[in-house]
Amino acid sequence: MSAPAPSRSFCGLRHGATDWNREGRFQGRTDNPLNEDGLRQAQEAADMLRGAGISRIVASPLVRAARTAEIVADAISVPLTIDDGIIEFDFGSFEGLPVRDLMIKHGVNSATGLVSILPADGESWDAMTERSLRCVSSWLDRHPGDRFLFVCHDAVMQGIAKALSGSYFKNSHGTPFRYVREAANWRVEQLVT
């Protein structure tokens, strides 16, 4: 992978839920809004982040992430910028299809297995991971005094986690996580304030 590892720790937040999330569908670039659960999750995330020391938020342009970020930014009074670099993965011909059905059809039962069956007509997993890491690194390098929250999507957060720490993690809607750098090692942990 050619994207450099970020220079320091940062936080990530998966957007609140949409109807497609509740239906278990692949939801890449389809611009679905938050549902009632998603709006509540965004507000709960804002409450959790009040004491976290976040000073700047960067969000994906898709409405589910941008709206989640707006709710958090308004609640904790920090600037918000939209950046295409952390837009969700393009699932190609899997878009809108039930995740579970395709996993059963292809005989996979893990995140690694799921990544292995992604269609060739979408974005490559490595390309998504590289663009996401490049985006995060660029923001961290340009604003060394800020503590960042990146509000984005599960695939983006998982790609970054796998590249930095070597593993995927259980990522819930509206639950903030910290990507922690200690020397050359990384880990992902739930943010508890």
- List residues with catalytic annotation: 15, 88
Nearest CA to 136 among 188, 62, 59, 77?
59
Cα separation, 123 vs 49, whole angstroms: 32
For 11-25, letters b (16+ CB in 10 Å) and e give bbbbbbbbebbeeeb
Residue 138 to residues 3, 7, 93, 130, 153: CA-CA distances in angstroms? 10, 10, 31, 12, 18
